[in-house]
Amino acid sequence: MKRVTRRFGLALCVVLITTVPGYTQTPNPGVPASIRTVNLTLEQRHVIRELVKELKVEPAKEDLKLAPGDEIPGKVALQPVPPLIGQKVPSIRSHRLYVTQSRILIVDPQDQKVVDVIE
């Protein structure tokens, strides 16, 4: 009986620890939620990164060092989200992309601000 109780207690501890919000893995913990208008999971970020490579999205020549919340300079040409990426990650379908060799900036087209950066 003590074994069953211990195992149940151990299983309960594991469940509680893995469901506590502080223990979950967030994609950009340093970026306040108020700046981000999209909340991408790690899986969605991976899908976007891989599809940008697979679809051979042309990278920009200039690598902008912008962070979420920063406004995109007017001279920068943004690309629409490719249809396949929009199907896989519908939350960014209406956004624009700025792709460099090492980063993907997701931009809100209404205010021209970076909403997320995928490294």
Domain-embedded: residue 93: yes
The pair of structure tokens assigned to 38 is: 């999209």
pTM exceeds 0.75 for this model? no
- On whether residue 110 sits in a domain, the answer given is yes
Burial (0-12, 13-18, 19+ Cβ within 10 Å), 13: exposed
49-82: pLDDT as tens digits: 999 999 999 999 888 899 999 999 988 999 999 9
Report the alpha-carbon distance of residue 39 to residue 26 in Å, rounded: 9
In a domain, 72, yes or no: yes
**Which position has the higher pLDDT, 11 or 42?**
42
Residue 37 lies in a domain: yes
Domain of 65: which CATH number? 3.10.450
Through-space distance between the first and last CA atoms of the chain, rounded to whole angstroms: 51
Task: Please count the structural domains in the chain.
Answer: 1
Q: How far apart are CA 87 and CA 89, in angstroms?
A: 6
Residues spanned by the domain of 72: 27-118
As to burial, measured by CB atoms within 10 angstroms (0-12 exposed, 13-18 middle, 19+ buried), residue 14 is: exposed
